[in-house]
Amino acid sequence: MNKPQPITPPVRASRLHGFLRSIVDLALILLIISAGKSALAEPYYVPSGSMEPTLQIGDELLATKYPYGYSTASLPLFINIPARARVLGALPRRGDVVVFRAPADLSQIWVKRVIGLPGDRIAVIHGRVWINGAPVGLTFDGTGEDENATGARRQVPQFTEALPGGRKHLIFQESTDGPMNNMPEITVPSGHLFVMGDNRDNSDDSRVPVGMGGVGLLPVADLVGRVNVLLGSWDLATASRPVWNWPSGLRWSRFFASVR
C-alpha cells in the first residue's frame, strides 16, 4: 500500500512569497528611517527675501525639531491640525531663527527671528526695536544687497542689531517712518512669541495681524524647529539663462554655512 506523499508548495510560489516579504520589510525600514529623520530635522526652501541678509532667496535651510519639543506642528506638512501643548517643550532664546506653521495657513512654513519672549514688552519707534523699555543696540554696518523674487538687486542700508543677552545679527533697514517702523508697546502674552524678519521693510511678521496677512503674536505651539545651518543655495536669477549656465547659480559659500 502506497503511503500518501506530503503536499509541498510550488517553488515559484515560495520564491514569490519571499520576495514580497522582503519588499514589505524594506518598506517598513524606510518608513522608520524617514520618521526618525523627520523627527530630528527637516529641510526647507526659502522663497522670499523677508529674512535678508541672513537668509537669501534660494537658500535651503535645515530646521532641527528637538530643541523646542514637539506638537502637531511637527508633523509632516500635509497634516494640518491646530497645535496645542508641546511635548518636551522649551522656549527659544531671543535671536533664534525659527521655522513655524503660519498662523493664517497651517499648510505653510515661515521663517523669522525671535525678538520677544512671553512677558516681554515690545515696541518699535522710528524703525528701532525697544525691549522692556530700552532700545536694542543698532550700529550702521554699510550697505547690503537686497534681492526680490524676480532676481533684481539693489543696495540698501545694513545695520548690526544687538539683542539683550549680547546676541548680534545683521538687518536691512531703509525707512524709519510708517506703520511697520512705529508700533506702540505691547506685552507678549504667555505661550506666545514676537518674531520679526531681518529685512525690516519687507516682512509680514508680528507687527502685522494675522487677519492682514502677518504672523501676529506667534503661538509657541506652532513652532517647528530652529535654524542653525544652510544645506545649500542657488541664485534663482540663473533660471532665466540657458540650462547649461544653471550650475553657475550655485552659491558655494553658503553651502553648510551657519545661521546666526
85 assigned to some structural domain: yes
Look at residue 244 in the predicted model and tell me its pLDDT.
81
The domain that holds 61 is classified in CATH as 2.10.109.10
Number of domains in the chain: 1
202 assigned to some structural domain: yes
186 assigned to some structural domain: yes
Look at residue 33 in the predicted model and tell me its pLDDT.
42
In angstroms, the CA 78 to CA 76 distance is: 6
Look at residue 35 in the predicted model and tell me its pLDDT.
47
Which structural domain range is residue 175 located in? Answer: 42-254
Look at residue 2 in the predicted model and tell me its pLDDT.
56
Look at residue 123 in the predicted model and tell me its pLDDT.
97
In DSSP terms, 195 is beta-bridged to 114
Q: Based on C-alpha coordinates, what's the Rg of the chain?
A: 25
Is 168 designated active site?
no
pLDDT in tens, 56-84: 999 999 999 999 988 888 777 767 777 66
29 assigned to some structural domain: no
In the predicted model, residues of the chain with pLDDT beneath 50 are 7, 25, 29-36
Q: Which of 50, 203, 206, 233 is catalytic?
A: 50
Look at residue 32 in the predicted model and tell me its pLDDT.
43
Residues in the chain: 260
In angstroms, the CA 178 to CA 29 distance is: 55
Q: Which of 65, 74, 112, 203 is catalytic?
A: 112
pLDDT in tens, 165-209: 989 999 999 988 888 899 999 999 999 999 999 999 999 999 999
In angstroms, the CA 182 to CA 176 distance is: 8
Is 203 designated active site?
no
Look at residue 30 in the predicted model and tell me its pLDDT.
44
12 assigned to some structural domain: no
In angstroms, the CA 46 to CA 149 distance is: 11
17 assigned to some structural domain: no
Q: Are 105 and 213 in contact (CB under 8 A)?
A: no
Q: Are 122 and 185 in contact (CB under 8 A)?
A: yes
Contacts of 20 (CB under 8 A, 6+ apart): none
204 assigned to some structural domain: yes
36 assigned to some structural domain: no
